[in-house]
Structure formats: C-alpha cells, structure tokens
Amino acid sequence: MSVTLTQGILIAIWAMISGLDAWLQALFIFRPIIVCTITGLILGDLQLGVIAGGLTELAFAGLTPAGGTQPPNTVLCGIMTVVIAATNNTNPTTAIGLSLPFAMLMQYILLFFYSSFSLFMSKFDQYAAEGNARDFKRLNFIPLTIVIVSFGVVAFLSAYAAQTPMHALVNSMPHWLTHGFELAGGILPAVGFAMLLKVMLKPKYMPYLVLGFVIASMIPFSNVLPVALIGGVFAAIEYFRTRENMALKAQIKDLSARSQGGGMDDGI
C-alpha cells in the first residue's frame, strides 16, 4: 500500500499533537503504544498499529530523557515503524530498525531547539522583572509553535514525501540485511525491558519475575490476558500490603512519640 495525501496530512496532524505532548510531558500520549496505534488506525490497519506499538514501547521502555540528553524520538519512531511496515509489507520488528534514522533525526532537531531557545531567556528575564505577564505568556507560544510545526513537517516529509525512495531502498536491500534488521528489531524490546529492570528490579520482587516467566512460558502467547490479570493481582496484593505496613509504622511512631514526650494533660 501507499500513503495517500489525506493520510499524510492526518499523520502530520497526529505528529503535531503527540509531539506537543512529548515536549510538555503532559498526557503521555506520545508513548509508542499510543502513537503506533493511532497511526495504524489512520493507515487502515489497526492490528498492525497495536502490534508495532507493543514492540516499540518495549524497545523504549528504559529510555527516558535526563537533563540535556535525549533518546531517539518516540513519536517519529512510532509513526515510521507503522508506515514502513504498512507500505513495504515488512515485519514490525524489521520496521523498528529502519525507523531509527527518522527518530534520531528528530532527536537532533530537538537538541538544536534546546540550545537555540536559550536566546529567549533574556526576554523572559526582562518581562519577569517588569511584571509583564501578558508578554511573558505570549513569548512562551513561540517555541511551542516552532516545535509543533517541526513535528508536523518532519512527519509529513518522512511518511508521505519520502515513501517512494524508502520503498525503493527496502526493496533493494539483500535478504541478509533485512534479516539483520529483523533480528535487531526483535532484540530491541528485550534490551529496553532489561534497561527498565536494571532500574526497577529489587531482590524482593525477584519471585514475581520468576513466577511471571514460568506462567508466560506455560500459556500460549496468543492469549497473554491471564498473565496480565495475575500480574494485576500481585500488584494489588503488594499495594495493600505496603499501605498496611505504612499505616502500622505511623501508629508505632505515634505511640513512641507519646511515650517519650509529655503532653499538656499529663500533670507535668
């Protein structure tokens, strides 16, 4: 299939919306699971969007912006993963690897914005010193507009204007190279999940991880709902147990404070 002009415009609008959310970190609709799903819906293949979203979300699970560092952009990676998979009839795992150059392009554009927008700081300081709230608020819309338009332009050019050369490039690749991209795309979700576990995993949660692995190995992967429900049950158990422990510690702390210090009505 090929991306029509209407679909290209809709993808650009969706990139502007999700790109703005990625800049503001507000609603988290910029995550690949959402971006890919909506992109698949625009292209008329919702199932492909959901599958690509799940794989791309795992690949970016452990990548989080920290300070001035920026990982490859999740919005462009999610959009182009679905576009490449749909227009070239490739597996989503292969499309993830092919979409990374677009994600890195947007990453460098955002890094350029981080540096160039510092030019506005003198004006912000001036308006703040003058107490000029009206112009202060208006000036905020200039970088936001630049970011939104950039997301839309890059997404439109990547998804619609560049689809012919992208199709020719994918078709010209030898089998061993496309197979390599497929293997790399299959490894990326595992790497992302491993990076997430490196930060979050604690020894007391190891039994849950082992149990989940055993259950997932015994249940066909075409139906992972039982694993998700079991995980939800354990999460609820852990949540209520932690809350009870915190309440108990608060009671003990309160009793200890009462026993060590005298009050106004203890006759002292």
| Angle at CA of residue 74, ends 43 and 21, nearest 5° | 90
CA 207 to chain centre: 27
Whole-model pTM: value is 0.69
* Whether the Cβ atoms of residue 85 and residue 126 lie closer than 8 Å to each other: no
For residue 53, give the nearest of 15, 93, 13, 89 by alpha carbon: 93
Q: What is the pLDDT along the chain (268 residues), one digit of tens a residue?
A: 788 889 999 999 999 999 999 888 888 889 889 999 999 999 988 999 998 888 888 878 766 665 556 678 889 989 998 998 888 888 888 888 888 888 888 888 888 888 888 888 888 888 888 888 888 888 889 889 999 999 999 999 888 887 777 767 666 767 776 667 666 666 766 666 676 677 677 787 788 778 877 877 777 666 667 777 888 888 898 888 888 888 888 888 878 777 765 555 555 4
